[in-house]
Amino acid sequence: MTHRTPLPSRICPACDGFASVAVTSGGRDPRGHLRTLTAHCPTCQGTGTVPARRVREGAGA
């Protein structure tokens, strides 16, 4: 009873698909805009998905 997932890629387990997030640093720039830092997930490098093979390797341990 093997459950196989035919999808070529899967949602990144590290960021749950939210590969890029804007983080407010609490300040505003001189023009009054919120200062935000964009952080990309290092696991999927901002794509939100990882190859299924890579997930298998990570989950095998």
- Contact segment (CB under 5 A) with Zn ion among 7-15, 20-28, 30-38, 51-59 equals 7-15
Q: Least distance from C-beta 42 to Zn ion, angstroms?
A: 8
Which residue in the set 9, 11, 40, 43 belongs to the binding site for Zn ion (CB under 5 A)? 43
CB atoms within 10 A of CB 28: 11
Distance CA 1, CA 42 (A): 34
Q: Does 14 bind Zn ion (CB under 5 A)?
A: yes
Q: Which residues lie near Zn ion (CB under 5 A)? A: 12, 14-15, 19, 41, 43-44
